[in-house]
């Protein structure tokens, strides 16, 4: 255990030492994020920061923590990581089309499914078991692609995706280590190792940032979150399925509501806009740093809620989920994530309050 803890700190240090070199490399190869109407940065900023995280994480797993992992699993996961990292690096240097980017993500997901063994196969609910059969592949691919792109979408402010992912990873690691019997010992260790690599990168990425994650980092982190969460979901129950969804509540919420918003506005789902969660909070008057810290706080709330699930009964889990959904909808409507006039739940509550007030007066 002592060696493992030392390895975590070594991983942080390695990331911190590598990042300045990756920053210099980004300038050399032209991986630079130039200011535009959608960007928050006012000056050109080097991207491709995810490369430092990738290198530090794999040095830790292949060298510092090698005895903890199966050889086939380690090399298969490395191959999948390499595909997603290369996809992100190409996109940071020479912008890929959405279709090209999706191809790289899908290839990495297929490697994760067939070689790594990260897949959903069975669902267990209330003593009833449903074998996914041929649906296992599309469901697993959908999970990986959805989480990968969800993290990519929230990477809009300095340190935002990095910090939210750190919170998600350490929460997943705690639950995997202490609560979920289906989780192998190596999986939480790997999760904590990736979290440690992100902690080492955060000082360079927090506002004012010296380097961005870029698609290299955002796609990589999202992909790893999805694959590592699947390692504890090989036999899915209602509780083990909902836990990672709640842990990743911030990126998932932002992505789902972005899709709904664009659908309601009759624009393509892939079309970018400035109405994401962080955009709305800044439009309400928060500073760059305040916005990031507020979203960190929201991520922590999601994480604390997720820790209650392993301790709850089935119906307790259902009630907790209902309250989370209602609370989330109220928050989303209060900040106008779908638009100022799209607040059905708030309007319903106001009508009920007015009716109760009138009845008391009468």
* pLDDT: which is higher, 128 or 57: 57
CB contact at 8 A, 288 and 207: yes
Cα(147)–Cα(321) distance, integer angstroms: 19
Cα(207)–Cα(186) distance, integer angstroms: 33
Q: How do residues 135-180 score in pLDDT, each as one tens digit?
A: 999 999 999 999 999 898 888 889 999 999 999 999 988 888 876 5
Please report which confidence band the pLDDT of residue 182 belongs to, taking 50, 70 and 90 as the band edges: very low
Q: What are the CA-CA distances from residue 227 to residues 21, 220, 221, 286 (Å)?
A: 28, 11, 10, 34
Cα(196)–Cα(238) distance, integer angstroms: 29
Lowest mean pLDDT among 162-166, 238-242, 272-276: 238-242
Q: Is the peptide bond before 289 cis (omega within 30 degrees of 0)?
A: no
The crossing angle, in degrees rounded to 10, of helices 214-230 and 71-93 is: 150
Report the predicted TM-score, pTM, of the whole model to 2 decimal places: 0.90
Other Cβ atoms closer than 10 A to 127: 5
Domain chopping of the chain, boundaries: 2-311, 314-362
Lowest mean pLDDT among 105-114, 238-247, 308-317: 238-247
CB contact at 8 A, 50 and 90: no
Sign of CA dihedral 39, 42, 43, 46: negative
Please report which confidence band the pLDDT of residue 86 belongs to, taking 50, 70 and 90 as the band edges: very high
Cα(254)–Cα(262) distance, integer angstroms: 12
Of the segments 163-177, 192-206, 232-246, which one has the largest average pLDDT value? Answer: 192-206
Cα(127)–Cα(301) distance, integer angstroms: 30
What pLDDT is recorded for position 18?
97
Cα(200)–Cα(207) distance, integer angstroms: 15
CB contact at 8 A, 32 and 46: yes
Whether residue 222 is predicted with pLDDT greater than 80 in this model: the reply is yes
What pLDDT is recorded for position 39?
58
User: What residues does 131 pair with on adjacent strands?
Assistant: 122
Mean pLDDT, to the nearest integer, of 95-102? 92
- Residue that the structure tokens 């990968």 belong to: 148
What pLDDT is recorded for position 183?
47
What pLDDT is recorded for position 60?
96
Cα(129)–Cα(147) distance, integer angstroms: 25
* pLDDT: which is higher, 90 or 183: 90
User: What residues does 129 pair with on adjacent strands?
Assistant: 124
Report residue 50: phi and psi, to 5°.
Answer: -60, -20
Residue 39 corresponds to which tokens in the numbers above? 């960007």
Mean pLDDT, to the nearest integer, of 98-107? 95
Cα(2)–Cα(15) distance, integer angstroms: 20
Q: What is the DSSP string of 254-273?
A: HHHHHHHHHHHTT--TT---
């Amino acid at each position: 255990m002592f060696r493992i803890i030392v390895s975590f700190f070594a991983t942080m240090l390695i990331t911190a030492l590598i990042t300045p070199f990756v920053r210099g490399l980004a300038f050399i190869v032209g991986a630079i994020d130039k200011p535009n109407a959608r960007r928050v940065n006012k000056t050109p900023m080097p991207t491709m920061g995810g490369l430092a995280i990738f290198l530090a994480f794999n040095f830790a797993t292949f060298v510092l923590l090698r005895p903890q992992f199966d050889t086939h699993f380690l090399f298969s996961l490395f191959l999948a990581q390499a595909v997603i990292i290369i996809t992100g690096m190409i996109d940071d240097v020479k912008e890929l089309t959405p279709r090209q980017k999706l191809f790289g993500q899908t290839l990495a997901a297929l490697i994760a499914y067939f070689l790594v063994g990260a897949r959903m196969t069975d669902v267990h609910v209330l003593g009833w078991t449903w074998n996914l059969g041929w649906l296992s592949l599309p469901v697993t691919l959908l999970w990986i692609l959805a989480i990968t792109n969800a993290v990519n979408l929230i990477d809009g402010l300095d340190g935002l995706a990095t910090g939210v992912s750190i919170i998600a990873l350490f929460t997943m690691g705690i639950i995997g280590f202490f609560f979920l019997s289906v989780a192998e010992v190596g999986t939480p260790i790997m999760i904590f190792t990736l979290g440690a690599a992100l902690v080492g990168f955060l000082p360079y990425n927090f506002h004012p940032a010296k380097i961005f994650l870029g698609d290299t980092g955002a796609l990589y982190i999202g992909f790893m979150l999805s694959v590592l969460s699947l390692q504890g979901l090989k036999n899915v129950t209602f509780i083990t399925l909902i836990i990672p969804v709640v842990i990743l509540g911030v990126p998932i919420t932002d992505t789902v509501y972005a899709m709904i918003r664009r659908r309601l506005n009759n624009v393509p789902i892939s079309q970018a806009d400035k109405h994401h969660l962080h955009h709305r909070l800044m439009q309400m008057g928060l500073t760059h740093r305040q916005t990031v810290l507020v979203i960190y706080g929201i991520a922590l709330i999601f994480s604390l809620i997720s820790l209650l699930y392993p301790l709850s009964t089935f119906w307790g889990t259902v009630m907790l989920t209902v309250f989370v959904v209602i609370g989330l909808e109220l928050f989303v409507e209060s900040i106008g994530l779908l638009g100022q006039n799209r607040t059905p739940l708030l309007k319903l509550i106001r009508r009920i309050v007015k009716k109760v007030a009138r009845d008391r007066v009468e």
